[in-house]
């Protein structure tokens, strides 16, 4: 309860009390009792009651999220040119009054779902796209009254309910309808849905501002289509999904083929590398054998007894005598231990390995 209401009630209580006091005195006098009016009581009740009632009628409290328009027959146009903001204000009692407008944020929803919009039942905006397809759009506008322009808003619409039903709802539906007609149906539910929402919001901001309202946001909640077109969209999406699956299968086959080619190429490269390595190893071995034979030949030139010494080295360690064939029936019998002591040591020792198989020369 506001302070002005409390003062008004207190004033009227005093005036009613004054009336009851006078009625009580008159009742006593009608019964031939000696009763006199107390002038002081009458004056206190009268002046106090009138003062409080007048003060209560003149004091106006405006809430934090309100702006007031002073209705005054003493000014041109019937209203004061400047609004009053939140707080306590004083107007001319019993002559001026205040019409309050909410400056809090409000929203108005139009929806095809029951009990969701401001209007019960299906209240979606029915529109047509540029290619003639019928669509149904659910939308919400969030707005609030401009505290500095509530006087012009009051002059135009007289009250808050009137500008909601007379401006907010029809203007929003009209802008949605006209803006949707600029887009194809694929664009409305596809890539340009955001563009459509921004286009509607820009137009609504300009038109709301002309009325003294500030549009905070416009929300395109949902877009539905006729059953026939919804079915065609579903079939198109199914076809697109199948095409995507086929594309993925092709990509998978290509990847498997690439992997197979890479594996075959790797195996072929490995075979080439092994063949090259074997070839190089054979060349290296041949070169080593040739070098070894060359060294052996040079050693034999300088020391012919090297062959005999090598042969003896290959004999079993327990062999002491050796019989060499000779002409007639008189073979040579050699003492190996004595021969090893008398034979000179080789001057050159070959670095390569001497072949293990040696033929004993015939004298």
CATH number, domain with residue 159: 3.30.479.30
The reply to whether 78 and 126 lie within a common domain is no
Residues 283 and 339 in one domain: yes
Residue 141: name the closest of 246, 59, 234, 218 by CA.
Answer: 218
Task: Look up residue 78 and give its DSSP letter.
Answer: G
- Each residue's pLDDT, cut to its tens digit, for the chain (363 residues) gives 667 778 778 888 888 888 888 888 888 878 877 777 788 888 888 888 888 888 878 888 888 899 999 998 888 888 899 999 998 888 888 888 888 888 999 999 999 888 888 888 888 999 999 988 889 999 999 999 999 999 999 888 887 788 898 999 999 999 999 999 999 888 888 888 999 999 999 999 999 999 999 999 999 998 888 777 767 666 766 667 777 777 888 888 788 878 888 888 888 777 777 877 777 877 788 788 778 777 777 777 777 666 666 666 665 566 665 656 655 555 666 666 666 666 555 544 444 444 443 334 443
Q: Which long-range contacts (CB under 8 A, 24 or more apart) does 185-189 make?
A: 185/129, 185/131, 185/133, 185/135, 185/225, 185/229, 187/129, 188/129, 188/135, 188/223, 189/223, 189/225, 189/233
Q: Which residues pair with 224 in a beta bridge?
A: 136
The confidence score (pLDDT) of residue 217 equals: 94
Tokens of 194: 């955001």
Which residues, at least 6 apart from 12, have a Cβ–Cβ distance to it below 8 Å? 49, 53
Structure tokens, 245 = 């699956």
What is the three-class DSSP state of 183? coil
93 and 110 in a single domain? The answer is no
Q: Check residue 211 and give its pLDDT.
A: 92
Q: Are residue 80 and residue 119 in the same domain, yes or no?
A: no
CA distances from 227 to 132, 177, 230, 234, 276 (A): 15, 20, 5, 11, 73
Q: How much is the pLDDT for 295?
A: 77
Q: Assess whether 334 and 351 both reside in one domain.
A: yes
Q: The domain containing residue 329 runs over which residues?
A: 275-363
Total number of domains constituting the chain: 3
122 and 184 part of one domain: yes
Whether 112 maps to a domain, the answer reads yes
Domain presence at residue 246: no
Please report the pLDDT score of residue 327 as a whole number. 56
Residue ending a domain, choose from 231, 266, 283 = 231
Q: What per-residue confidence (pLDDT) applies to 207?
A: 95
Write down the residue that tokens 């040591």 correspond to.
Answer: 345
């Amino acid at each position: 309860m506001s302070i002005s209401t409390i003062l008004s009630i207190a004033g009227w209580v005093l005036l009613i009390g004054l009336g009851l006091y006078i009625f009580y005195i008159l009742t006593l006098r009608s019964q031939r009792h000696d009763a006199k009016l107390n002038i002081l009581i009458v004056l206190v009740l009268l002046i106090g009651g009138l003062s409080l009632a007048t003060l209560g009628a003149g004091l106006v409290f405006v809430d934090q999220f309100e702006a007031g328009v002073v209705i005054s027959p003493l000014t041109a146009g019937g209203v004061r040119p400047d609004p009053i903001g939140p707080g306590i204000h004083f107007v001319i009692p019993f002559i001026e009054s205040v019409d309050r407008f909410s400056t809090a944020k409000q929203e108005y929803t139009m929806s095809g779902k029951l009990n969701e919009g401001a209007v019960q039942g299906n209240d979606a905006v029915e529109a047509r796209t540029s290619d003639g397809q019928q669509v149904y759009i659910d939308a919400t506008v969030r707005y609030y009254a401009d505290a500095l322009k509530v006087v012009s808003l009051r002059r135009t619409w007289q009250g808050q309910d009137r500008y909601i039903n007379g401006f907010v709802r029809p203007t929003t539906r009209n802008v949605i309808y006209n803006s949707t007609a600029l887009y194809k149906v694929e664009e409305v539910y596809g890539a340009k849905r955001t563009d459509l929402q921004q286009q509607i919001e820009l137009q609504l901001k300009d038109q709301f501002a002309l009325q003294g309202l500030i549009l905070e946001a416009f929300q395109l909640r949902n877009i539905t289509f006729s059953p026939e077109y919804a079915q065609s969209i579903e079939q198109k999406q199914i076809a697109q999904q199948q095409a995507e699956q086929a594309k993925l299968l092709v990509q998978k086959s290509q990847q498997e083929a690439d992997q197979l080619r890479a594996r075959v190429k790797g195996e072929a490269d490995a075979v080439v590398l092994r063949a090259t390595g074997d070839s190089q190893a054979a060349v290296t071995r041949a070169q080593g054998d040739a070098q070894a034979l060359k060294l052996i030949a040079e050693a034999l030139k300088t020391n012919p007894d090297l062959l005999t010494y090598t042969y003896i080295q290959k004999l079993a360690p327990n062999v002491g005598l050796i019989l060499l064939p000779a002409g007639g029936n008189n073979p040579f019998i050699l003492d190996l231990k004595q021969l090893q002591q008398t034979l000179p040591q080789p001057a050159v020792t070959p670095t390569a390995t001497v072949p293990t198989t040696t033929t004993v020369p015939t004298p």
